[in-house]
Amino acid sequence: MKLKEAHYEFIHLWGNFGSQWGINKTMAQVHALLLVSEDAMSTDDIMDALSISRGGANMNVRELMTWNLIYKVSKLGDRKEFFEAEKDMWEVSKRITRERKRREIEPLMHHLVRLKRVDKNEKGAESFTKMLGDIERLVDRVDKVSDTLMRAEENAFFGSIIRLLK
Amino acid sequence: MKLKEAHYEFIHLWGNFGSQWGINKTMAQVHALLLVSEDAMSTDDIMDALSISRGGANMNVRELMTWNLIYKVSKLGDRKEFFEAEKDMWEVSKRITRERKRREIEPLMHHLVRLKRVDKNEKGAESFTKMLGDIERLVDRVDKVSDTLMRAEENAFFGSIIRLLK
DNA sequence: CAATACTTTCAGTATTTATTGAAAATTTGT
DNA sequence: ACAAATTTTCAATAAATACTGAAAGTATTG
């Protein structure tokens, strides 16, 4: 298979995978495009490569920047902005995790805590609050473990724990 | 807050959370409804509680069964089918993880392996295959750790590792 | 075996979500 | 300060996704 073909397939794969996980398909494709691109790309390059509008390219590029997955770079003697992706996939995974946690998990947890303040004397209140507590504990545990996973490379102690699991 | 209100809010919370993660909102709501319900519910009960059509109730209930998140139960002297949710949230999390892995992660991994077979002599092929390999290793590691997490309650050794992370 | 109770299907429709493209805003160079 | 280049916004539109409801299909009962 030719490299260009493989790039093309990867971009579509990443787009579909992203959309199954609640990430806008085009945003995932722009990300994939920049991941496989050797050089930084301008908005026009991206529009051209993915056949999307200027508005779409701009929107998705900016959204990817708020996720810290791509950076703005400037080319000497060119007025345009260029973009390049963070290429360290470990770092990519950390940033996606961090961002989803901040945007989605934390608000969810906040609501769960609030719902636990239901009238305790009603029949059924106990099993309901137990369930809320279980969800909290579960999310918290996943959170702790993913933190650890993310720190594994930077920390010999946690790294050795992770290696135990191989 | 009244228990009924809290149930109502939980159902909507779960629905919104689900849809942010690529799970059909109504399906997540049906799941939440059965999670908070003390008794098994019929299709009519669900239609009524969530104001959805018979078709929708049926579709979502069946989909939830393929995820092993709810069970069909029969009530003596009643011809209808009733449904109840798996209430152990740990088990729920295991099943969602297992199912998404089977449906989404495994096909993704298969494609990544395939794309690594790109022509190796083209310029840029090396960095591309390195990236694919990095994604594979990353997914694999997350997979191993989540397996471990899931087994933690059943296994003293892994359980003690998890407790280290608290 | 026919009537009844219940479940499933799916074409049509509604809703949600994403995209376009042109106008407005901003930035840069002279 | 102006003009040109570039970026951003957003109302209109398109595309994707989900839902409805009635008809067809199945199972159960007497």
Over residues A44-69, the pLDDT tens digits come to 999 999 999 999 999 999 999 999 99
Question: For strand C, which residues in window 15-34 of chain A come within 7 Å by CB?
Answer: 24-27
State the DSSP code for A74. Answer: E
**Position B3 confidence tier, pLDDT thresholds 50, 70, 90:** very high
Is residue B75's beta carbon less than 7 angstroms from any atom in nucleic acid strand C? no
Contact residues, B window 16-75, toward A, CB-based 8 Å cutoff:
17, 19-22, 35-36, 38
SS (H, E, C) chain B: CCHHHHHHHHHHHHHHHHHHCCCCHHHHHHHHHHHHCCCCEEHHHHHHHHCCCHHHHHHHHHHHHHCCCEEEEECCCCCCEEEEECCCHHHHHHHHHHHHHHHHHHHHHHHHHHHCCCCCCCCCHHHHHHHHHHHHHHHHHHHHHHHHHHHHHHCHHHHHHHHHCC
Confirm if B29 and B70 have CB atoms less than 8 A apart. Answer: no
Q: What is the H or E stretch that residue A110 is in? A: helix A106-115
Q: Indicate the residue of A13, A125, A135 with minimum beta-carbon distance to B108.
A: A13
Residue A152 clears pLDDT 80, i.e. is over it:
no
Q: Which residues of A touch B145 (CB under 8 A)?
A: 145-146, 149, 162, 165
Query: B32-73 pLDDT, tens per residue?
Result: 999 999 999 999 999 999 999 999 999 999 999 999 999 999
Cβ of B148: how many Cβ atoms within 10 Å?
Answer: 20
Distance of alpha carbon B91 from alpha carbon B96, whole angstroms: 9
Q: Indicate the residue of A3, A128, A134 with minimum beta-carbon distance to B118.
A: A3
Walk across the sheet containing B81-85 and list its strands. B41-42, B81-85, B70-74
**Position B16 confidence tier, pLDDT thresholds 50, 70, 90:** very high
State the DSSP code for A105. Answer: I
As a CATH number, domain B3-85 is 1.10.10.10
Q: What is the H or E stretch that residue A50 is in? A: helix A43-50
CA distances, B122 to each of A1, A3, A4, A88, B162 (Å): 11, 7, 10, 22, 45
CA distance B55 to chain A (A): 23
Distance of alpha carbon B105 from alpha carbon B143, whole angstroms: 9
Distance of alpha carbon A116 from alpha carbon B25, whole angstroms: 23
More confident residue, A156 or A95: A95
Residues contacting B79, CB < 8 A, separation 6+: none
List all nucleotides in chain D with at least one atom under 7 A from a protein Cβ: 5-11, 17-23, 28-29
CA distance A138 to chain B (A): 7
Distance of alpha carbon A120 from alpha carbon B1, whole angstroms: 9
Q: Which residues of A touch B31 (CB under 8 A)?
A: none
Average pLDDT over residues B90-105: 95
Residues contacting B7, CB < 8 A, separation 6+: A128, B36
Q: Indicate the residue of A19, A93, A162 with minimum beta-carbon distance to B138.
A: A93
